[in-house]
A = this chain, B = another copy of it.
Amino acid sequence: MIDNLDKNIINALTENARLSYAEIAKDNGVSPATVHVRVEKLRKAGVITGARTTVDARKLGYDITCFIGIILRQAGDYPTALKKLENLPEVTEAYYTTGQYSVLIKVMVRNIDDLQKLLIERLQVIEEIQSTETLISLQAPIQRSIRA
């Protein structure tokens, strides 16, 4: 089971993945070795799945983030459509959803031209896709993790 120490470790590391075990240990009144043991346990249990450095996409030239809602022709088209979406590097996230759309994807592109090309030349040509709806994100004011 996950106890309070585990939770504190998870919350600390989801905010800053490069925090040292030594520091987390100090904050929690345990030894660094204990933190090490707990993190290994959480990793083996699949609770902790990895760690990613976050970057400012604009500084890398990706000025536009958007969400695209996709409606598929048929429910059964999902596996094939997903494979095709995986081949588009601009697609950074995909969600299989109930409601409005069959699939919601998050896309990052350099500019409006690239977005238009992506939509027309590489998304709308996918035969399993019936239609798409684009939401351009102008700002992402909240970006945080759930608390353990």
- Closest B residue to A2 by CB, please name it: B60
Are A52 and B52 in contact, CB atoms less than 8 angstroms apart?
A: yes
Interface centre among A10, A47, A90, A134 (most CB of B within 10 A): A47
Across the interface, which residues of B come within 8 angstroms of A17, CB to CB?
17-18, 50-53
In the assembled complex, the Cα of A101 lies from the Cα of B137 at a distance in Å of 10
- Closest B residue to A39 by CB, please name it: B53
Residues A62 and B97 in contact in the complex (CB < 8 Å), given A14-B53, A55-B48? no
Are B100 and A135 in contact, CB atoms less than 8 angstroms apart?
A: yes
Are A16 and B142 in contact, CB atoms less than 8 angstroms apart?
A: no
Across the interface, which residues of B come within 8 angstroms of A104, CB to CB?
67, 135, 137
Please tell me if A35 contacts chain B, counting CB pairs below 8 Å: no
- Closest B residue to A47 by CB, please name it: B59
In the assembled complex, the Cα of A134 lies from the Cα of B66 at a distance in Å of 18
Are B53 and A54 in contact, CB atoms less than 8 angstroms apart?
A: no
- Closest B residue to A96 by CB, please name it: B139
Interface string of A105-148 (1 = CB under 8 A from B): 10010000000000000000000000001111111111111111
Are A144 and B46 in contact, CB atoms less than 8 angstroms apart?
A: no
Across the interface, which residues of B come within 8 angstroms of A90, CB to CB?
146
Please tell me if A25 contacts chain B, counting CB pairs below 8 Å: no
